[in-house]
Amino acid sequence: MTSTIDPVQGLWRSVLARLTTDDRITPQLHGFVSLVEPKGSSATPCISRCPTS
């Protein structure tokens, strides 16, 4: 069985990789951003949410 990667997941992984190399992103901010779950996209914006628990 082959698995296909959701395009939004792939896009979010590339955003996270780019943020990892950005000196302006503090460890605390990186920790918060890594909790974000991409849910979809509508044209350009990426729709995301952060779990509450």
User: Is there a domain that residue 40 lies in?
Assistant: yes
Distance CA(20)–CA(27), nearest Å, equals 9
Question: Which tens digit of pLDDT belongs to each residue from 6-53?
Answer: 777 888 888 899 999 999 999 999 998 888 887 776 666 666 666 666
SS3 of 44, please? coil
- With respect to residue 22, please indicate whether it lies within any of the assigned structural domains: yes
Q: Is residue 43 part of a domain?
A: yes
Q: Is residue 2 part of a domain?
A: no
What's the confidence (pLDDT) of residue 42?
65
pLDDT at 8: 79
Predicted confidence at residue 12, as pLDDT, reads: 84
Q: What is the pLDDT of residue 22?
A: 92
Where is pLDDT greater, at 3 or 39? Answer: 39
Assess if residue 25 is contained within a domain.
yes
Domain range for 33 is 7-49
Asked whether residue 14 is assigned to any structural domain, the reply reads yes
Number of domains in the chain: 1
Ramachandran bin of 8, using left for φ above 0, alpha for ψ from -120 to 50, beta for the remaining angles = alpha
Q: pLDDT: is 37 or 5 the higher one? A: 37
Which residue, 14, 8, 15, 10, is CA-closest to 39?
8
The SS3 assignment for 19 reads: helix
